[in-house]
Structure 1
Amino acid sequence: MRILAILPLIALSGTAHALTLEQSVAEALNKNPRLLQKYARFEAKYRDKRTAFSEYLPQIRLYAAYGYENVTNNSGNAVDTEMDRRELGLKISQMLFDGFKTSSDVARLDYEMRADQQSLVSEAENIGLEVSQVYLDLIKAQEIVKLQQKNVVDHQNILKDIQSRKSKGLSSDADVAQVQARLTTAQSGLLAAKNNQFDLEANYYDLVGSYPDNLMIPKPDANYLPTDLKQAIDLAVTSHPEVSAANLDINAASKQIERDKSGYWPKLALELDVNDNENIGGFEGPDDDARIMLTMSYDLYNGGRTNAKTEASKWRYQEATAVRDNTLRQVTEGTKLAWNAYTFVGEQKNFYQQNVDFASQAQQGYDKQFDLGRRSLLDVLDSKIELFVARRNYLNAAFDERKASYRLINATGKLVEALRVDTPEAWRLEDDKE
């Protein structure tokens, strides 16, 4: 089942919620102010497009006026009147041709609106990755705390044993002091691990809006993981929303050039003008007229404004092209880095797994040798510490591999889709909803 990003509001007092990664991402997308900012920009651009489209439609203007008029001369004739003047007029105009200004403007704003939509999707991808990273870091932190607690217990047990042996004259004060020093280090490590866990819980709350509980280790969808670097880069440059947004910005800049060139063309309009006036110009009585006219206006010279605006638009087009090229570089570089992390961390995890296996065998062997009197308690403690470090390294590598998987999917622009999180209908364009 797909998870809708707009969820019912949940009380956000200190209550903990058992949320999967998918649900956590959906919650974050529903509340994050960065997304609300992007969405507001997208909606504003949609209204801008509708404003430009209004130029295609008839413009209807009603004019009315009433007041006092005193006339002493009118067209060279002596007139001395004082009357109440009334004006009432209706003007309807229909644009027929404006040098492709309106069509270019509508197309430009449509491209800009679609670019803002892609930026909104890209922000959702980035927030989804942030939630994924902190979600996995939090589970890892919880496991590290458990591992640190076991390490402290092991040190405490060894300390009890060695204190017992000292009382029997089988160990020295130096041995006891050494174990006590190692115990304090282990206890300090436990406190640091708990502090890190609490920090991550705060980060999770900042992103999701609720405190986590009973987190479950997520598994990335293998269908969204590229099989090689070339496939990963191809997916990124064709699917990443930032690349799509940059291409749309180039199209918008091209339409801006066409819009600014409209000044080179004449303007044609059809106008209907009807007036119902009374007591105008010092003459008592009605003064009515009506006319329908085809009008044309053409700027023969406007101080070079059209040339300057067109040249500026061409430079904005070059800017948009450079931004697109830079975006492609960044997306490609990010994909390579994500692929390298995914590949090498996976290999590293295998070595850490072997390290855990060997350290576990060594620790068991030391226990047996201690029972036979061939190893000291400090030797046993050293083997337990080595096993603890091996397990901690493996935990880090295992979770880093999962984080790298989600980072790689994000690099291709498919993380929200891979998590089965539906974006709200309001984020989509009309043709996307069909």
Structure 2
Amino acid sequence: MHKYLIIPVLLGCSASVQALTLEQSIAQAMMNNPQLIQKYAQFEAKYKDKRAAFSDYLPQVSVYAATGYEKITYNNGREYDSELNRRELGLRVTQSLFSGFETVDEVARLDYEIKADQQALISAAENLSLEIAQIYIDLFQSQGVIELSEQNIKDHEDILNNIQNRAKKGLSSAADVAQVQSRLATANSGLLAARNNQFDLKAQYFDLVGEYPIDLHNPEVDSNYLPETLDIAIDRAKDNHPEIKASIFDVQAAEKQMDRDKSGFWPKIDLELDINNNDNIGGFEGPDDDGRIMLTMSYDIYSGGRTTARTEASAWRKEEAKAIRNNTYRQVIEGTTLAWNAFHFVGEQKGFYRQNVDFATQTEKGYMQQFVIGRRSLLDVLDSKIELFNARKNYLKASFDEKKARYRLINATGKLIEELRVDTPDAWKLKDNDDEENNQTDETTSSTAQEVSN
């Protein structure tokens, strides 16, 4: 009964070693997609910023050297005449002992920004995966529509041959032949539109993955990742969605930036070592060497209100980050709710479309039998053919829409890459001791989610 609803398993002309499953398509896109490369570059750049900030923990070593001509006419108010070739060579080592916690807070701020950028990268990969999955499924749907359109053309050609034979026997008129030919032209036009749509989808696939689809395989969704209720879906989204995690890290980074800007209220203490090896200094011929090690302190008594203004600006940036975090929660909850509704209602809609196909099939067969015995007009038969064709297309679309809704719902909970069993590149992972800190931050994420929810 549903022989024209069979979903094609293969796309393209023949099997190929270049065939990509959905999972392979996404994995390839992760390595080559320009948008993800841009996000990854931002992620790596932040690591270098953190390393630059960390350098303030280490000694700063500088060498000074100079040589040239020196002429002195007066020295200490006395007339003095000296012409010498002056040479200077010095070494300075400075170790910061206390910077008002500026370095500590700056390193911590950049660490949170690194984690936020990592989550933003994962979020972009999640969204790209969903987009590829939808295009991938649309390609199967387009092939199904093409096959239905080809069958529709064949059915109209069979009717046309039948009517032409009847017209030769005087049982049908020329108007009947013209009417079938008109419907056949419309069917051919529909086939061209379906093929054009498939070419467009292939171009979109190329834009995302980097190569054209050759031999695709119909993906299956892991039902274990589908939440049973809307409340469960929202809870999963709050706990797992990378955009929520990124917004929480941004708030923590803003807090550390505010602490860093407060460092101007503290004194700066350094340990300095100076060694100089000079010749012919100040008009006196001969070596002039010295060395010293000193504990230095500097304290900014008044800077025109700069430190206060920076601290207040950082406080407002923290409020901005908190507002973005709260808005992100709302958007994720809204997106999860919309995805759940689509998943729930498309599944019900599919059942009605299946009934539509069954009834349209019965109608088409009955009208054809009644037409043969003269109880139905040719127009009734042609209309029943179109109704059956549209019913099959609607059912085909609903079947694939349901699958896309499943992937969309899993994406809304932040688990699509995991469901697809696609490993993110090792380069995307946190380095050094960041993994341990990230585990500790997961607890902060959960507590913050509860706080925002309340």
Which TM bucket (shorter chain)? over 0.9
Provide Cα deviations, 1:157-183, integer angstroms capped at 9, x if missing partner.
101101111111111222222211111
1:206-225 superposed matches below 5 A: 206-225=207-226
Identity of aligned residues (%): 65
Letter in 2 for 1:427: W
1:251-266 superposed matches below 5 A: 251-266=252-267
Letter in 2 for 1:193: A
Provide Cα deviations, 1:234-271, integer angstroms capped at 9, x if missing partner.
11122111111111010000000000000000111111
RMSD over equivalenced CA pairs, Å:
1.6
> d(CA) in 1 for partners of 2:27 and 2:284?
74
1:63-78 superposed matches below 5 A: 63-78=64-79
Extract unaligned runs of 5+ from structure 1: 1-14
1:130-279 superposed matches below 5 A: 130-279=131-280
Which residue in 1 is equivalent to 2:97?
A: 96
- Does residue 111 (structure 1) correspond to residue 112 (structure 2)? The answer is yes
Provide Cα deviations, 1:287-346, integer angstroms capped at 9, x if missing partner.
111111111000011111100110111111111111111111111111111111111001
Which residue in 1 is equivalent to 2:409?
A: 408
Q: What secondary structure is seen at the aligned counterpart in 1 of 2:95?
A: strand
How much has 1:355 moved relative to structure 2?
Answer: 1.3
Q: What secondary structure is seen at the aligned counterpart in 1 of 2:262?
A: helix
> d(CA) in 2 for partners of 1:211 and 1:386?
34
Provide Cα deviations, 1:110-152, integer angstroms capped at 9, x if missing partner.
1111111111111111111111111111110011001001001
Q: What secondary structure is seen at the aligned counterpart in 2 of 1:295?
A: strand
Which residue in 1 is equivalent to 2:13?
A: none
Provide Cα deviations, 1:336-376, integer angstroms capped at 9, x if missing partner.
11111111001100111111122222333334444555445
> d(CA) in 2 for partners of 1:47 and 1:432?
14
Preserved CA contact (<8 Å) 1:16 1:210: no
> d(CA) in 1 for partners of 2:134 and 2:78?
88
> d(CA) in 2 for partners of 1:75 and 1:172?
127
> d(CA) in 2 for partners of 1:241 and 1:348?
32
TM-score w.r.t. the length of structure 1 is 0.94
1:383-402 superposed matches below 5 A: 383-402=384-403
Which residue in 1 is equivalent to 2:6?
A: none
Letter in 1 for 2:234: I
- Does residue 83 (structure 1) correspond to residue 80 (structure 2)? The answer is no
> d(CA) in 1 for partners of 2:18 and 2:212?
6
Letter in 2 for 1:31: N
TM-score w.r.t. the length of structure 2 is 0.90
> d(CA) in 2 for partners of 1:107 and 1:210?
41
Which residue in 2 is equivalent to 1:293?
A: 294
Which residue in 1 is equivalent to 2:305?
A: 304
Preserved CA contact (<8 Å) 1:158 1:377: no
> d(CA) in 1 for partners of 2:239 and 2:265?
38
Deviates more, 1:257-266 or 1:374-383: 374-383
How much has 1:209 moved relative to structure 2?
Answer: 1.1
Which residue in 2 is equivalent to 1:429?
A: 430
Letter in 1 for 2:122: V
Change (3 A) 1:433 1:259: closer
Provide Cα deviations, 1:55-108, integer angstroms capped at 9, x if missing partner.
000111111111111111222232210111111111111111010000000000
Alignment length, in residue pairs? 420
Q: What secondary structure is seen at the aligned counterpart in 2 of 1:421?
A: coil
Preserved CA contact (<8 Å) 1:16 1:212: no
> d(CA) in 1 for partners of 2:229 and 2:240?
16
Preserved CA contact (<8 Å) 1:425 1:433: no
Deviates more, 1:251-260 or 1:326-335: 326-335
> d(CA) in 1 for partners of 2:210 and 2:31?
10
> d(CA) in 1 for partners of 2:434 and 2:275?
45
Preserved CA contact (<8 Å) 2:176 2:378: no
Q: What secondary structure is seen at the aligned counterpart in 2 of 1:259?
A: helix
Which residue in 2 is equivalent to 1:339?
A: 340
Extract unaligned runs of 5+ from structure 2: 1-15, 437-454
> d(CA) in 2 for partners of 1:429 and 1:331?
25
Deviates more, 1:350-359 or 1:308-317: 350-359
> d(CA) in 2 for partners of 1:310 and 1:158?
82
Letter in 1 for 2:18: H
Letter in 1 for 2:210: G
Deviates more, 1:173-182 or 1:326-335: 173-182
